[in-house]
A and B are shown apart, each in its own frame.
Chain A
Amino acid sequence: GAGVSQSPSNKVTEKGKDVELRCDPISGHTALYWYRQRLGQGLEFLIYFQGNSAPDKSGLPSDRFSAERTGESVSTLTIQRTQQEDSAVYLCASSLKISSGNYGYTFGSGTRLTVV
């Protein structure tokens, strides 16, 4: 597609439920990233994919968080047993490649998750 697409745009869930957030990167972008932005905070790195592999998962806050990518395309971020502190905007970005480091990111519009 023309841009990075994320769905849903908004999600309200009850504490303890599982949620899945989806990201469709720009076609041909081999690198994909998930970031989290909590209210009043800066963006926190969660995980990065190169192809379907995730060389760096260091930003995932707990084992309740997991992510996968298939077909070097769509990625899903899953949060199990959601807690109120998981409420945030979850942003996905993609870029052409990372080997040279000299590529910029393109971000999606984000998924606003509210845990009640």
Chain B
Amino acid sequence: SQTIHQWPATLVQPVGSPLSLECTVEGTSNPNLYWYRQAAGRGLQLLFYSVGIGQISSEVPQNLSASRPQDRQFILSSKKLLLSDSGFYLCAWRTGSSGELFFGEGSRLTVL
């Protein structure tokens, strides 16, 4: 069966520090991968998606970047965090271009 892992689960970082959130998927090949951000009590904002290794589509110009160095690995990064980067980051995958998304448990980032 397929599983998705996201880490770290919780992160407190100072403004200006770097960020790396990692997501891996097991049990499937060539998944489409997604990063979403959720502000407190709000909906999900699509940040990045990837349809293959090295292929990244950015939805929102911002302080973040994404990379997909391996088929089932998706990394969210920042060189210098801003206060506004605080939020709940969710990784998700699916096999097709539409349909059910499978989410990880999320990474809560607090920038102080």
Q: Determine if chain A interacts with chain B.
A: no
Interface residues of A (CB under 8 A from B): none
